[in-house]
Amino acid sequence: MSSGARIFAARRYRLSTLTVPNDLFVAVITGSKELHTPTHRITARQGQAVLIARGTQWDVVNDPHGQPQYEALVLAFDDALVHEFHERAQAHSTSIVTSAQVIALDDALIETLQRTLPGKHTPSMAVMRHRSQETLLLLEEKGHRFAPPHELSWVERIQHLIGQRMDADWNVRAIAQAFHMSESTLRRRLADSDTTLAAIVRDIRLQTALGLLQASDLSVGEVAQRCGWESHSRFTAAFQQRWGVAPSVVRARLKETAQDLADKG
C-alpha cells in the first residue's frame, strides 16, 4: 500500500542521516526542501517536487524560506505497489530514479496527490491503491519511474515486523519465532548484516517518531509512548542524538492540525 501525509515546519530544521525506506514523491507547497550528501545538494522549491528512491540516505532541511511555514505533500509507495505497477506498465522512455530528482509540479499531479491523503471519509483500500497507481502512471507519462523493488533483506524484514507493533518488547526470541527460525540462525543473519536487533528496534522507532511529529497533532510525550519510550527525557535525548534536532523543533504548532488540513484537501 502507499501512505500520504502533509508535512509542516514552523521554522527551519535539519535532519541528519535520514534513510528513506520507501520510494517517495514529495510536493513542496510552500518553502523549500534540501537533500544533502557529503558531495551533493538537491533543492526543491515551491511549485516543484522531488522524487526520492528507497534505500538512499540524506541530510534533510525543511525550510519555510520566508513563508509562514514549510508545507509539503508526501506520498510513500511500498514495494508491493511499485512491483505491481512495473508488471502492468507499458513501455515508455523513462528515466529510472536511483537517487533523487527534482521535477515540476502541475495541477494533475497535485490533484492526484491530494486524493491520496487521509481524510474524514477514507475510501476502501482498493480505491486508495488505485489512486496511488494513478500517481505512478502520471509520473511515468512525464518520463519518471522508480526502480523495480528488490527482494527484502533480513534487516528490512525485521524492520517491517517491528513497525507493526513498535511498543512491543522485541527480543531475539520473539523475532525468531515470528520468522519460524532458530535464535542462533537469526543471530547469525544479523551478524552477517553487521547490525544488532537493539540497533534495528531503536532506529525504526525513531524513524516512526519523526513521521508522527511531522504529520500528526500528537504531543511529543504521546509520540514517545507510541514509539516505546516511557521516559520523555530519554526519548528527547535519543531523538536529538539520531536526527540532530530536538523533537520540539520538529513538532509544528499550528492553528489547524494536519488532519484538519487533509480533510479540506
CB 236 within 8 A of CB 229: no
CATH assignment at residue 162: 1.10.10.60
pLDDT digits (tens, 9 = 90+) for 238-251: 999 999 999 998 87
User: Residue 188 has what pLDDT?
Assistant: 93
- Mean of pLDDT values over 88-98: 73
178 band by pLDDT with thresholds 50, 70 and 90: confident
Its pTM stands at 0.75
CATH assignment at residue 115: 2.60.120.810
User: Residue 46 has what pLDDT?
Assistant: 95
Q: Let me know whether 161 and 199 are in one domain.
A: yes
pLDDT digits (tens, 9 = 90+) for 95-139: 888 889 999 999 999 998 888 887 666 677 788 888 889 999 999
Q: Let me know whether 62 and 180 are in one domain.
A: no
The Cα–Cα gap between 71 and 19 comes to 21
- Mean of pLDDT values over 144-172: 83
CB 50 within 8 A of CB 44: yes
Q: Let me know whether 83 and 124 are in one domain.
A: yes
Q: Let me know whether 73 and 24 are in one domain.
A: yes
CB 215 within 8 A of CB 154: no
Ranking 3-17, 20-34, 36-50, 86-100 by mean pLDDT, the lowest is 86-100
- Mean of pLDDT values over 70-97: 83
Examine the fold and report which residue of 134, 151, 168 is the final residue of a domain before the chain moves on.
Answer: 151
73 band by pLDDT with thresholds 50, 70 and 90: very high
User: Residue 261 has what pLDDT?
Assistant: 37
Q: How many domains does the chain have?
A: 2
Q: Let me know whether 190 and 114 are in one domain.
A: no
Write the CA distances from 151 to 12, 80, 156, 157, 265, integer angstroms.
37, 11, 10, 10, 35
Examine the fold and report which residue of 131, 151, 171 is the final residue of a domain before the chain moves on.
Answer: 151
pLDDT exceeds cutoff 60 at 263 = no
Q: Let me know whether 183 and 94 are in one domain.
A: no
pLDDT exceeds cutoff 50 at 23 = yes
Nearest by Cα to 250 from 201, 213, 197, 196: 213
Residues 138-148 as b or e (16 or more Cβ within 10 Å = b)? bbbeeebbbee
Range of the domain at 87: 1-151
Q: Let me know whether 163 and 143 are in one domain.
A: no
CB 129 within 8 A of CB 1: yes
